[in-house]
A and B are shown apart, each in its own frame.
Chain A
Amino acid sequence: MEVLYDRLGRQAFGLAYRILGDGPSAEDVVQEAFLTLWRQAERVDSTRGKLSSFVLTLVHHKAIDALRAKRGQLARQISSELEQIERVGADVSERVLQSASRDEVRAALAAVPDDQRRTIEMAYYAGLTHVQIAEALELPLGTVKSRLRLGLEKMRAALKTGFGDELRRS
């Protein structure tokens, strides 16, 4: 676990800090994520994806949980990503996560138009629902739905270009 922490600790803390915005809370989340990983080690299927994907997904879930708890919201929907990974797109998800470098993901996100990127970041890093995003930005709900989808599609196109044939075959 110490080796894993040395390898992924800064990345995990960076993600938690990006979501929570304060160091002590982010550290609590990272500690809890690594403890969970240690407790559940026998159930982590290493054949299903990179360990870093698993760790970061876990950190994201716990950080969004903590964020919603801070806001006094019910934390019900944060497993959706895990559900997606497990139930809908497990194979593709893991191929993408394994194939894409961090620079490629950042470049793909940066290539998304500002208004779409903003809604995506509010959803993923702030744990807001589409209704909350629409309220915060004072936009029609339909506009937010479109921006979320179009933004992800632009990212997908950029990542596919980056991956070349590998993803197209998937």
Chain B
Amino acid sequence: MNCEEVEELIGAYALGALPAEALSEIGEHLVTCEKHPEAADLGAVASSLAFAAPDAEPSPTLKTRLMKAIEAEAARPPAAPGRAGWLGRLRGMVRQPALPYALAGALAIAVAALIATNLPDSGDEREFVTFAGAGDIRGRLDLRGDDIVVMEISGLDPLDEDQTYQLWGIGADEAESLGLLGTAPEGKALGAVRADSSEIDALAVSIEPAGGSVAPTSEPVLQALLPDR
């Protein structure tokens, strides 16, 4: 999608009023193109519409139901395989960068974590990291000096339309969404995101409900520690 097409759709994009593919294309365009400074403003204005709806009174039972649901969840044993589990394990690996291979094996993560290999590019500041996930999943990260991270993945299982692959940047304290990678209809995904890679220790890809999640809700299909920078 070129700049002219993006400009034409910028209002619809800000409001999310486009098919997922177009949203993704424009999102990718915006992180690498500085010719659309109004995009952020319009997105902000669209977001503010959440405040324009009038208050309304829910039934008194809603609060009771909510509190009971929370109590019920709080009472459950902290079980664990899941999101917090793999995030915790990945963070553990991040904190001990000297032992990534040993830890990856010992932790028996659902997918192969890292056979990360640095492939320095000649000449510029770009850095490539290759890695493998479960089965045939292979990926390559292009860590550019301008904080653009380009991720190419192959061997993914195509997802149904109600799911999406989502890319996460794992820092010291949290997993931050770096964007949606779509359903990989041909088993491939390509994402370009702007990320301050010095603040991200690892990347992960998980399968999420269509539209993405605020935080990972499933075990990653792929994860990779970034090299020390």
Contacts and interface: CB of A to CB of B under 8 A. Distances in A.
Interface residues of B, number: 65
Given A56-B51, A77-B211, A97-B48, A145 B11 contact: yes
Contacts of B62: 9, 13, 27, 30-31
A15 interface: yes
A154 B70 CA distance: 42
B210 interface: yes
B162 A74 contact: yes
Contacts of B48: 96-97, 100, 105, 108, 155, 159
Interface in B23-71: 23, 27, 30-31, 38-59, 62-63, 65-67, 69-70
Given A35-B69, A149-B11, A85 B16 contact: no
Given A13-B62, A102-B51, A87 B179 contact: yes
A80 B16 contact: yes
A26 B18 CA distance: 24
Contacts of A40: 214-215
A4 to B, nearest CB: 10
Question: From DSSP, what is the main secondary structure of chain A's interface residues?
Answer: helix
A123 interface: yes
Interface in A50-85: 53, 56-61, 64-65, 74-85
B211 A14 contact: no
Contact of B49 (A45, A87, A92, A124): A124
Contacts of B45: 96, 108, 152, 155-156, 159
A134 to B, nearest CB: 10
Interface string A16-43: 0111000100110011001110111001
Contacts of A124: 15-16, 46, 49
A151 B11 contact: yes
B17 to A, nearest CB: 4
Contact of A36 (B23, B41, B214): B214
Contact of A145 (B12, B44, B49, B58): B12
Interface of B: 8-20, 23, 27, 30-31, 38-59, 62-63, 65-67, 69-70, 73, 161-162, 164, 174-180, 193-194, 209-212, 214-215
Rank and list the top 7 A-B pairs by shortest CB-CB distance, nearest first: A89-B40, A149-B11, A148-B11, A80-B16, A84-B43, A123-B17, A76-B20
